Amino acid sequence: MVKKNYSTMFLLLFVASISGGLALKNVYDYSMLAGVGIGLIFLLCAFIAINKKPSKY
């Protein structure tokens, strides 16, 4: 059975949301704020995924 590494996925989504906020900064006034907010949610999810106790299966 393949173990899924959710922490890596959430960290990549964190970086992508910050980059997306920077890329859209001239299109939408608050895009950087939205990118950082979404990025913090992904960073919190990565922290939870890292600290979750591994199951026996």
Higher pLDDT among residues 55 and 15, named by residue: 15
What pLDDT, in 10s, does the model give residues 1-51? 556 788 899 999 999 999 999 999 999 889 999 999 999 999 999 999 888
Question: pTM for the full model?
Answer: 0.81
Predicted confidence at residue 5, as pLDDT, reads: 81
pLDDT band at 56 (very low <50, low <70, confident <90, very high): low
Domain residues of the chain, as ranges? 6-51
**Measured distance CA(42)–CA(46) in Å, rounded:** 6
